[in-house]
């Protein structure tokens, strides 16, 4: 039986529920099949050469030629069905599933032995931070700040800690266009960073693998940073036409001195875990083979200390910097808003999306 309009509608809803991001190529295919199924052959003028995202969409749709609408509908439904079954059968590690907090799509949040663990859970995208993940981290930090755990840990699932901002975040441009997108992204970035500045209890980063971009800059706002010796620390802002964020323009020079900070933030020098430790960004490095065991043993012992005094000590150490950090965050966010709209930044993102560039 051929797929009906109702089947198409159901498949569109199913796409929103996929547990795994299907990747840009599949998303383009879905876009093209949907347009073909609902509007017939491509009827849009070809976008200009710099409008790379719309050009990619146009090309995908146009490539379907005169494929009949019913066939496109069927192909769309079949493609979604294959994505749904592979997403259901994918077995991601979900430690502590019995203590898991429900309601997160991009994170696994667990509380056990006085520790709330927020684990970035997009391992097939190297834990890149999607818009949804930014929002969920804000919510998870808010919940953790009010729960009865003594400490909170941020870590990554899979071989990466986090590959930074998800570069496909720019592709869902709202009706207000790219300016509105830049404004929304900047507001989200500002609120996201603010939730780290304001976090009231000890916040520990368990850096299980490479860290990129905003995942690195934020480390200056953590109270302890433990790293596997496999981890690397890379802030390729200039390569991406972007400026420093996460309060790093203030915290990095304080932590490592202005010249080392410049090598990282301006020139994109990638540090090994041992180099990052020597520069004070990382607290301690562990061999990867024993990383999880050693770190969790230590954290479990720390979490047994009286939780009120842990909060108070953190606040004594950090509070006098808070106002300054908020003003740095506002300033950095406003500068990066302009960078998002720059040709340098747009070209870098497009090069990544069209697979011409990788770090
Ligand atoms: C809204 C606030 C904005 C705040 C601004 C923040 C600034 C930053 O965070 S800048 C840093 C941005 N991040 C990057 O530039 C990293 C881009 N990724 C890479 O260069 C590479 O993927 C990697 C070096 C991280 C890993 O390379 P590797 O060969 O090991 O793996 P891949 O095959 O490339 O990755 C698997 C899969 O994941 C996708 N992916 C990885 N990182 C990102 C990302 N940051 N955004 C979007 N997608 C990412 C990658 O494309 C692969 O996808 P496919 O399987 O579909 O090819």
Best residue among 26, 128, 349 to mutate for probing ligand 1, ranked by most atoms within 8 Å of CB: 128
Instruction: Output the pLDDT for position 356.
Output: 61
Report the complex ipTM. Answer: 0.99
Instruction: Indicate if ligand 1 lies below 6 Å from the C-beta of 193.
Output: no
CA proximity to 139, closest of 166, 157, 164, 116: 116
What is the number of the ligand 1 atom nearest to the C-alpha of 169?
1
Instruction: Output the pLDDT for position 20.
Output: 72
pLDDT mean for each 10 residues of the chain (359 residues)? 84 80 82 93 85 85 91 88 64 50 94 97 98 97 97 98 93 78 94 98 98 98 98 96 97 98 98 98 98 98 97 96 98 95 89 74
Instruction: Output the pLDDT for position 17.
Output: 77
Instruction: Indicate if ligand 1 lies below 6 Å from the C-beta of 209.
Output: no
pTM higher than 0.80 for the full model? Answer: no
The rounded distance, in Å, linking the Cα atoms of 103 and 107 is 9
């Amino acid at each position: 039986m051929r797929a009906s309009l109702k089947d198409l509608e159901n498949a569109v809803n199913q796409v929103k529920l996929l547990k795994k991001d299907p990747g840009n190529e599949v998303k383009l295919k879905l876009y093209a099949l949907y347009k073909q199924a609902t509007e017939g052959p491509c009827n849009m003028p070809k976008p200009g050469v710099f409008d790379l995202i719309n050009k990619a969409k146009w090309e995908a749709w146009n490539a379907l030629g005169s494929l009949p609408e019913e066939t496109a509908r069927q192909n769309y439904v079949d493609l979604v069905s294959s994505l749904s079954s592979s997403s259901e059968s994918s077995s991601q590690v979900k430690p502590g599933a019995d203590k898991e907090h429900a309601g997160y799509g991009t994170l696994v949040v667990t509380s056990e032995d006085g520790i709330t663990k927020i684990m970035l859970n997009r391992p097939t995208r190297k834990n890149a931070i999607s818009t949804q993940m930014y929002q969920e981290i804000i919510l998870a930090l808010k919940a953790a700040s009010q729960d009865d755990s003594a400490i909170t840990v941020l870590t990554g699932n899979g071989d990466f800690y986090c590959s930074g901002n998800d570069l496909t975040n720019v592709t869902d441009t709202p009706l207000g266009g790219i300016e509105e997108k830049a404004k929304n992204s900047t507001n989200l970035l500002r609120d996201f960073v603010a939730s780290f500045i304001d976090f009231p209890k000890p916040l520990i980063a368990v850096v299980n693998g490479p860290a990129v971009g905003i995942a690195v800059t934020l480390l200056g706002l953590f109270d302890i940073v433990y790293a596997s010796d496999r981890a690397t620390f890379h802030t390729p802002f200039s390569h991406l036409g972007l400026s420093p964020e996460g309060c790093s323009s203030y915290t990095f020079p304080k932590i490592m001195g202005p010249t080392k900070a410049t090598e990282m933030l301006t020139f994109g020098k990638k540090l090994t875990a041992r180099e990052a430790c020597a520069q004070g960004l990382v607290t301690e490095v562990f061999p990867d083979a024993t990383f999880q065991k050693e770190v969790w043993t230590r954290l479990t012992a720390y979490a047994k200390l009286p939780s009120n005094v842990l909060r108070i000590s953190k606040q004594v150490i950090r509070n006098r910097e808070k106002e300054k950090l908020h003003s740095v965050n506002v300033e950095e966010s406003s500068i990066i808003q302009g960078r998002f709209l720059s040709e340098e930044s747009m070209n870098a993102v497009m090069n990544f999306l069209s697979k011409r560039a990788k770090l």
